[in-house]
Chains A and B, each alone.
Chain A
Amino acid sequence: MRIRNIKWLLFLLALLLLLLVSVAVALLSGEIDLKLVDLPTILEQKSGVEYAVLTKIRLPRILLAVAVGGGLSLSGAILQGIYRNPLVEPYTLGISGGAALGVSIAIVFGLNALSFLVLPLFGFAGAIVTLFLVYFLSIKRDGLNINSMLLIGVMISFVSSSAMMFLMSTTTTDNVQNIVFWVMGSLDEPNEMLIKIALFSSLFGLILTYFFAQPLNALRLGQTKAKHLGINTALTVRILFFLASLLTGIAVAIAGVIGFVGLVIPHLIRLIIGNDYRVLLGGSFLGGAVFLVLSDTIARTIIAPNELPIGVITGLIGGIVFIVILSRSRSKFRLN
């Protein structure tokens, strides 16, 4: 028992170390290759091209990768927990579809020229509308019927993607390109405030989720049995649903639809350390952050000076790595 806690702590520390290493690698690689030994001097000088590249270009991007990767992965872990379904991910509930529709509307009507804030705001608004639709159409009516919630979410996804296709088919090629580009996702975000919002909200989400680590553990037995153990399941599921949706909404609004993080990383962490949410939540956050920092570094360096959409990297690397691990440890792979 006590040994288990030490094991968990070591695991989280190892992941944190891995994150620091990934951040260092990401800071050093790019068009201008830097060396680790030079870092202190560059940072001390506080001037020069290299300093600007580090602090104005690479660091913000890395921070956004940490925020988005951590947030999406955490959201995936939560949703898989409350739905007791291994295939659920942050985008299953239609949050991303709603956000994409919001962004498409803004682009089609040319609102994105007004301010850099328009796209994130419309994206977030789309996410929020979807969230409340799912909430009122399923949770409010059917109580906490998990299946109806999932189905409503999936249906809303379809409806918003059809609406998006309609918009795309009636607008100019330029707009279509903009929409596609946004949907593919990118961590290239020039606005510092948005990066801060993303970072703070996902860290805050992590802290908040930890108050529900034990209820999430109880939910591994199912809602009825969790209630038998004194857990207010109705309240817990509602709060966690909103929390996970907001985390997803903010991530998508700022960075677009970056796939795979929220589905695969929580599973990987489960495989390595088990299903106890006390370690799984933090592990998923850190793992998602590492994964996205590294993926983004690859995306922006592999065909430099051009950049690959990050979704290409997350899908390719994540998918292949996951299949390999899964086929090697099939017997160990369980959700609950």
Chain B
Amino acid sequence: MESFLKIDKFSCGYPGKFVVQDIDLEIPKGDFVGIIGPNGSGKTTLFKGITAELPALSGKTILKGEPVHKMSIKKRAQNLAIVTQVIEAGAMTVEDYVLMGRMPYRGQFQFFENEEDVEIAEKYMKLTGVDRLRNKYMNALSGGEQQLAGIARALTQEPQLLLLDEPTSHLDISHQVQILNLIRRLSYDLKLTVLMIIHDLNLAGEYCDSLIMMDNGTLRKKGEPAEVLNYQDIEEVYKTVVITRTNPVSGKPVVFLVSEDVMRQKKEASH
């Protein structure tokens, strides 16, 4: 069977400066995949390559049998939806913003959204819980609400693949959990395939089906959270000492950090 998203010997980036090289990946439909790695390891560059924002230097990404880079801009927007870290939608109502998700389906001569557009936007506003904010301006929302609106807009595009760039980075734990639970639910209920860049290793381990660890422009490791989140790999990639354990409730891997002071005390005590 042909895989849903296939990334085949794919390289992209800024030649002479920074290049993400030789990425090989296959992601089945409905998977929730987290991309981890230190700053500058190429997570965002890989994202830009997958969305064809950057041209492929070699290899290709294939979504449902079709090379992403050969799709028209419009078709790409019908298949891939992206939620960026910061959503600068300004003084636009949440409803107008979410409705923009229908833009890939709109003809050049179609000025107004049709009933189907409105219904779809309505459905996903309800699903994400932003329907009660519909008449508020985007720039009057909190960071978490903006992310939810961004997800609602992305879902309104009815994509095959949803890409999220650190959706939880500026949020408190309750909003982090709210958003990740929502994404988890989406990937189950809608069979939506999700690719998410995330810095928090514990959240990545807890929520994702599988993880991809990037290091210096290459794919270091891929697999289930328990395989990827081992202390040897993390310490080598992040150049940081960590301790890994298992979450007693979920059975997922957890990563602990240790402060310099404590490390020194431990060392002295053991001597």
Contacts and interface: CB of A to CB of B under 8 A. Distances in A.
Given A228-B81, A230-B78, A222 B88 contact: yes
Contacts of A217: 100
Nearest to A278: B111
A220 B92 CA distance: 9
B111 A210 contact: yes
Interface in A257-294: 274-276, 278
A335 interface: yes
Contacts, number: 69
A187 to B, nearest CB: 32
Given A1-B118, A210-B111, A211-B108, A229 B101 contact: yes
Nearest to B48: A224
Interface in B76-101: 76-78, 81-82, 84, 87-92, 95-96, 100-101
A196 interface: no
Interface residues of B, number: 33
A5 B76 CA distance: 30
B81 A221 contact: no
Contacts of A232: 73-74
B32 to A, nearest CB: 20
Nearest to B111: A278
B5 to A, nearest CB: 17
A222 B87 CA distance: 10
A308 interface: no
A213 interface: yes
Contacts of B89: 220-221, 336
Main secondary structure of the interface of A (DSSP, over half): loop
Contacts of A274: 91
B81 A276 contact: no
Given A230-B74, A232-B73, A5 B112 contact: yes
A227 B80 CA distance: 11
A214 interface: yes
Contact of A214 (B77, B87, B111): B111
Interface of A: 1, 5, 210-211, 213-214, 217-218, 220-222, 224-225, 227-232, 274-276, 278, 334-336
23 contacts: A1-B95, A213-B111, A214-B103, A218-B103, A220-B89, A220-B90, A221-B89, A227-B73, A227-B77, A229-B101, A229-B103, A230-B73, A230-B74, A230-B77, A230-B103, A230-B104, A231-B73, A232-B74, A275-B90, A275-B91, A275-B92, A278-B112, A336-B89
Interface of B: 51, 53, 73-78, 81-82, 84, 87-92, 95-96, 100-101, 103-104, 106, 108-113, 118, 139, 157
Given A5-B112, A224-B53, A276-B96, 4 more contacts: A221-B87, A230-B76, A232-B74, A336-B88
